[in-house]
Every structure is written in structure tokens, then in C-alpha cells.
Amino acid sequence: MLTVLKLGGSLLSPERAGAAGNWDGLAAAVARRAAAGEALCLVHGGGGALTAFLAARQIPTRFHQGLRVTDAATLEAAVMVLAGAVNKHLTAALNHALPAAGAAARAVGLCGLDGACIAAAVADPALGHVGRVTGGDPRLLRALLAAGFLPVLASLAAGPDGPLNVNADQFAAAAAGALTAARLLFVTDVEGVLDGAGQPLATASLAALTQLTHAGTLHGGMLPKLAACRHALEQGVARVEVIGAAALLAGPAPAGTQITLGSPA
């Protein structure tokens, strides 16, 4: 029973250090789950850190329907920040937290390019070097999991001409499908999917979320997340949830929004 756990990039921004979403706190929460026997594969974003890195170099950031428009300079920065700084700091925090929690697993930081584990094609030339996942080779991830390691994946995929920047939610859904994970958990900076009154929904069907999108209640970064939930559910991932960082820190009790293929019975 594998859980793919996606940590939102907004939680990993440098300015979050020390706040509720700090890396050490998140790593400790993940380590407690691993110590309790949960097999885990992590996927992370790094949106906040990447935007800050680009801003420091006067490179503008532009999003289209929740996806980062990725020119050549942004792709280079994405490789450095996502597969570099964010991935390695998170891996280091986990390798501090795992033994402290009594977990035998050790974290290995990598991305979709390693072992060509997640492959992608250019999604839409207008978005630049943005990938749409087309497949991949799960052997490396399976070998790591079987040997007791905890893969930590930055959301860069193997494209036909080099790395492609893939939305981390869509990357996580692809990883969950490829690894036939039982559970996919999106940990983000809101408590769950919020309704028109700003309240988190306990459960929501894909159809209900599409309605919220048409009503303008669901937008921005939640759009690729919705597409990722759909992808994962259609690939047979049984439980797909969107939760806040506070819920991850609090423990395994149900929280946030469970997304279902159809209306809950």
C-alpha cells in the first residue's frame, strides 16, 4: 500500500521557514507516517522558491490557467531550484527526521529525469518548456521503494529534447498511477478545496468540482490540481485527497477534501 504525498511548493518557500509550513515540521510529519509503516513516495513543487529566484534575476513570472509559462531561462532556473535547492533541502530535512522518528527508510532526492521515471511531451508550445506526462519507466522508483528508500521527486520530466517543467500535481498523479499507489495526498496551503463560502468541502466529486470551476470558485493552482485528481482517479488510485499543511502536521486523522470519481453514495 503506497501513498504518493505531494508537498505544495507554497509550503516550501524560503519565507515559510519557521512558520507552520516549515520544512523541518513537514519532514517530521512525513517521518512519523513512515515510522508507522506507511510506504511513501514524495513529490514536491517549488513555485514560491522559483518565483523568488526569478524575481531576483529580473525574470518575470507568468501563469496561464495555473501553469507556469516556461521559457528557456525559466527552465534553467526550474532545474536549479526544483531539482537542486528545494529537492536537496527537503531530502536533507527528511534524512534528519526519519531516523529521529525511528523510521528505517532514508530519503533519495531525484526527479523524473532519473531513470527516465516520468516522461513528458511538450504540452502546448505557447507555454514553452512545459510538459504533459506521457509515461515513464517506474523501475528505478520501484527498486528504491523495495530497498526501503523514500523517493523525493522534483517535478521535472524527461522530454524528447531534455528536461520539461511539469506541474507538480500532474506529476504526482502520474507517479501515483505508474506506481499503482493506493492513495494520493495533495498537501497545500489551504485546508482543502474551498466552496463558494470559502469553507473546505469534506468530499467532492469531479463533477461538483467542474461546476465550481464554471462558477469561478475554483481557479488558479486548483485547476491543474483538479485535472490531476481526475487523472489519478481514472488510473485507479483509490483515495485522492487535498489537505492543508496543518492537517499533515496534526497526524493521520481524516481532514481536508476527499475527491471522488462520482457523487458520494
Ligand X SMILES: Nc1ncnc2c1ncn2[C@@H]1O[C@H](COP(=O)(O)OP(=O)(O)OP(=O)(O)O)[C@@H](O)[C@H]1O
156-159 β-sheet, strand order: 131-135, 119-122, 156-159, 162-165
Options 45, 46, 225, 256, the catalytic residue: 225
Options 45, 114, 128, 169, the catalytic residue: 169
> What count of residues does the chain have?
265
Specify the residue, 190 or 233, whose C-beta has the smaller distance to Mg ion: 190
221 binds Mg ion (CB under 5 A): yes
Show contacts with ligand X in window 30-49 (CB under 6 A).
45, 47
169 is a catalytic site residue:
yes
- Helix spans in the chain (H): 23-35, 47-56, 72-78, 87-100, 139-146, 168-178, 206-214, 222-234, 245-250
188 binds ligand X (CB under 6 A): yes
- CA-closest candidate to residue 184, choices 3, 1, 10, 14: 3
47 is a catalytic site residue:
yes
Show the site string, 150-169: x = touches ligand X by CB under 6 A, - = not: ------------------xx
139 binds ligand X (CB under 6 A): no
Strand, helix or coil for residue 111: strand
184 binds ligand X (CB under 6 A): no
88 is a catalytic site residue:
no
Tell me how far apart the alpha carbons of residues 118 and 108 are, in angstroms, rounded to a whole number: 16
CA separation, residue 58 to residues 49, 54, 61 (Å): 14, 6, 9
Options 8, 46, 47, 177, the catalytic residue: 47
10 interface partner picked from ligand X, Mg ion, none, CB below 5 to 8 A per type: ligand X
Specify the residue, 14 or 160, whose C-beta has the smaller distance to Mg ion: 14
The nearest distance, CB 139 to Mg ion, in angstroms, is 28
The nearest distance, CB 156 to ligand X, in angstroms, is 13
6 is a catalytic site residue:
yes
137 binds ligand X (CB under 6 A): no
Q: For residue 91, count CB atoms less than 10 angstroms from its CB and return exposed for 0-12, middle for 13-18, buried for 19 or more.
A: buried
- CA-closest candidate to residue 87, choices 150, 175, 133: 150
User: In the set 15, 36, 219, 246, which binds ligand X (CB under 6 A)?
Assistant: 219
A 10 A CB-CB count for 52 gives: 15
Residue with cell 525511528: 102
H or E segment to which residue 152 belongs: strand 149-154
218 interface partner picked from Mg ion, ligand X, none, CB below 5 to 8 A per type: ligand X
Count residues binding ligand X (CB under 6 A). 20
The nearest distance, CB 41 to Mg ion, in angstroms, is 18
Tell me how far apart the alpha carbons of residues 8 and 84 are, in angstroms, rounded to a whole number: 16
Options 8, 9, 128, 159, the catalytic residue: 9
User: Binding residues for Mg ion, per CB under 5 A?
Assistant: 221
List active site positions.
6, 9, 47, 169, 225
User: Binding residues for ligand X, per CB under 6 A?
Assistant: 8-10, 45, 47, 168-169, 188-190, 193-194, 212, 217-222, 225
